Every structure is written in structure tokens, then in C-alpha cells.
């Protein structure tokens, strides 16, 4: 049999091979460019051609439909070096007056006895951001939200200045030789988890991130769990939610306990 006979349509084997190849190509194209795009529940297409273009990576024709809105309020605070820092004495004094209504939860000197966050020595930018988020609804709490709603921008700045001025009291660590957990010092690079200490103290601090040393373990644990579940959503670019949901229960417990019980150090004032 000559080569012409082998590649001739009259050759049944050649005809079947070509037919099977064409059929596989058609089925694959339909599945990859039409069926699979339509199977995605979050995507809506105006037609088959729109689905094909989307699967091929081509930009879709702008839709007249309204843009998708977030399912919750986002923080409106822009974290920069311009956030409250060093304040004038009158701001600290006015903040001290306003803070009298905060003492029942956060203590008369900013140190809580009720598993509420300790505010003494906390960064002013961190306090200001959280108050603003409570006020705007980006962060919700049955106690803090009604309180923050009536605060002016100056009230929040002065409260932040007052608490930042107070001496920071670190927690007590009975086992001073106990090494810090890896999640705090090293993180978990394979799970894309940065060290807690790179933002919240012990290694470095990121603008807008709170100082966690000496915070109640129950509070730290509750906030990590809230970030992991999505109940708390006022982190910028979902940074804390992405980290917390990748942390194990053991790592959450270790971080909370470690930050709550640090060896006494020199009292720091800001």
C-alpha cells in the first residue's frame, strides 16, 4: 500500500483517526471554553462568545450593570505616618477626661481587669483606627459601637493621645527561659504566614498595627478567631483574615498565651 493510499479518505483507519481527533478537539473546546466557564457560579455571561472570550483570557466588554459592592463596610482609615502620633499636652488632658467613661472596661489607668484590651502605652495610630472603624461600622461591637458613634474626630485623636501617653505595662512571664513560639518569631513561610512579631512587636512594628505584648490572652485569641471566621473584617486588604484562617488552633493559643505573658521589662512611655 502506497503512502497516498494510507493518507486517503478511502482508508478506513485514516478516516477514523481523523474523525476521532476532530471529535476530541470539538469536545475539549466546548468543555473548556463554554461548559466550564458557565459552571462557575460567581460569573455571569451575556452569551457563548462572552464565555469563550473569558476562558481565553480576553477582556470582557464593559457591562452596564452596577459594580459589585462589598458585603460589609470597609475601613475608611488611611494608615500613614500622618495618623495621630505625638500630641500636645492639652490633647492628652482632654483625652484623660474623655477616658473616664472607658475605665469600666479598660481600667482607670488603661490596664484592663476584664479581658478587655489594655490601652496603656498603645500606639495612638492603632487606637485612632479602631475607634474610627467602630464609628463607621467597619468593626462592630455591642459595647464599643454605641460609644464610638458619638465621638468626633478630635475626641478620637485625644483619646488616642492620652492612652499612648500612659506607661505600658508588660505582662508577667513565670517561665522566663521558655522560648517564644515559632508562629511569633518565624511565622509559617510554607503557609504564607508572616511572624506575628514583625507587625505587633518583639521584632518590629507596622504602622497601624497594635502592640500586643501584655494583652489578655482571651482577647487576642477571640480576635484571631474572629478574623479567621470573617466575623471581624476591618483589616486592610484582608491581611489578618488571610493569616488567621491559615493558623492552627494550637498556633492561635500559643500566640495568645505568649503575648499575654511576657517577662517584665522597663516601663515604656510614649
CA-to-CA dists, residue 165 to 81, 90, 260, angstroms: 18, 12, 21
Residue 91: strand, helix, or coil: helix
Answer whether 133's CB lies under 8 Å from 235's CB: no
pLDDT at 270 over 50: no
How far apart CA 39 and CA 26 sit, in angstroms, is 18
Task: Please name each of the domains of the chain with its CATH number.
Answer: 3-55 (no CATH), 89-165 (1.10.760.10), 182-260 (1.10.760.10)
For the chain, what percent of residues have pLDDT higher than 90?
52
pLDDT classification of 89: cutoffs 50, 70, 90: confident
Residue 72: name the closest of 227, 225, 230, 223 by CA.
230
pLDDT of residue 1 exceeding 60? no
Contact 214, 265 (CB under 8 A): no
Would you say 141 and 219 are in contact if contact means Cβ atoms under 8 Å apart? no
Q: How far apart are the first and last CA of the chain?
A: 94
Asked whether the predicted pLDDT for residue 100 surpasses 80, the reply is yes
Burial class, 40, CB count within 10 angstroms (exposed 0-12 / middle 13-18 / buried 19+): exposed
pLDDT tens by residue, 6-46: 677 777 777 788 889 888 888 887 777 667 666 666 666 66
**Cβ contacts of residue 191 below 8 Å, gap of 6+?**
246
Check pLDDT > 60 for residue 119. yes
Higher pLDDT, 239 or 1: 239
Would you say 115 and 104 are in contact if contact means Cβ atoms under 8 Å apart? no
Amino acid at each position: 500500500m502506497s503512502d497516498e493510499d494510507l493518507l486517503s479518505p478511502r482508508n478506513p483507519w485514516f478516516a477514523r483517526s481523523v474523525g476521532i481527533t476532530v471529535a476530541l478537539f470539538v469536545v475539549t473546546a466546548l468543555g473548556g471554553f463554554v461548559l466550564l466557564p458557565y459552571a462557575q457560579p460567581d460569573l455571569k455571561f451575556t452569551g457563548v462568545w462572552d464565555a469563550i472570550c473569558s476562558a481565553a483570557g480576553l477582556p470582557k466588554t464593559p457591562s452596564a450593570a452596577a459594580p459589585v459592592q462589598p458585603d460589609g463596610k470597609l475601613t475608611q482609615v488611611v494608615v500613614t505616618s500622618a495618623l495621630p502620633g505625638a500630641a500636645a499636652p492639652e490633647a492628652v488632658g482632654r483625652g484623660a477626661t474623655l477616658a473616664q467613661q472607658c475605665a469600666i472596661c479598660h481600667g482607670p489607668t488603661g490596664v484592663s481587669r476584664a479581658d478587655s484590651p489594655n490601652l496603656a502605652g498603645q500606639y495612638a495610630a492603632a487606637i485612632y483606627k479602631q475607634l474610627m472603624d467602630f464609628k463607621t461600622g467597619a468593626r462592630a461591637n455591642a459595647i464599643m459601637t454605641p460609644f464610638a458613634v458619638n465621638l468626633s474626630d478630635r475626641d478620637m485623636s485625644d483619646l488616642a493621645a492620652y492612652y499612648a501617653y500612659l506607661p505600658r505595662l508588660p505582662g508577667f512571664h513565670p517561665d522566663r527561659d521558655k522560648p517564644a513560639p515559632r508562629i511569633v518569631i518565624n511565622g509559617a513561610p510554607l503557609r504564607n504566614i508572616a511572624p506575628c512579631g514583625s507587625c505587633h512587636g518583639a521584632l518590629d512594628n507596622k504602622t497601624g498595627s497594635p502592640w500586643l505584648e501584655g494583652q489578655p490572652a482571651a482577647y487576642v485569641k477571640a480576635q484571631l478567631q474572629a478574623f479567621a471566621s470573617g466575623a471581624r473584617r476591618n483589616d486592610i486588604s484582608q491581611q489578618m483574615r488571610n493569616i488567621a484562617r491559615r493558623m492552627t488552633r494550637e498556633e492561635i493559643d500559643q500566640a495568645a498565651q505568649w503575648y499575654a505573658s511576657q517577662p517584665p521589662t522597663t516601663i515604656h512611655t510614649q
